[in-house]
Amino acid sequence: KHITTHIGSWENDRGSDAITQPDGKVIVAGVAYEYGSSAGAIVRYHADGSIDSSFGGDGKALYLGWESYFSSIALQSDGKLVAGGSEFNFASYERDFLVVRFNSDGTVDNSFGISGKMLISFSQNSDEDAVSVLIQADDKIVVVGNGASNTGDRAIVRLNTDGALDSTFSDDGKLTLDSTEGGYITYA
């Protein structure tokens, strides 16, 4: 069955990753274009493909960061959702890893990171994007993606359950892997 759900005010919305909850509901993360900018988007469907209006009030949750998108979504053991992608950071004038946590009802979890999100930079003057989010058995969050766009380095970050960088991982929670062969991590 093919389902199309319009989210933003433009028509270029797309999903990048999907997961199935234990209750059979399907969550799709991606990007919606709203008010002239991209926004991280999540939609939750019932097992029959209908939109679950109990999620975000209309089945949809938007994260309206500047030029943001989600490329991956993961489900924590408590039912909260962790989305990873990228957002333009005006402080450094570059794209950084974006990690946002949502409550099971589709609202942003403001107890996570800084007002529900973490923007993580690996190097200056470089665009970076998170490609995959994984939840460990202890609910720590591992995010993998592309570090420095000008070198093709890979980047890994581990966050504690509250969104803070986990200093027990690579001393500061961040690890950059040199890519002498070039190329980027992509998502399917």
pLDDT in tens, 92-141: 788 888 999 999 999 999 999 999 999 988 877 678 888 999 999 999 99
pLDDT in tens, 67-99: 888 999 999 999 999 999 998 877 778 888 899
Residue 69 CA to residue 67 CA, distance in Å, equals: 7
pLDDT at 146: 82
pTM: 0.86
Percent residues over pLDDT 90 in the chain: 48
Token digits of residue 131: 């490609």
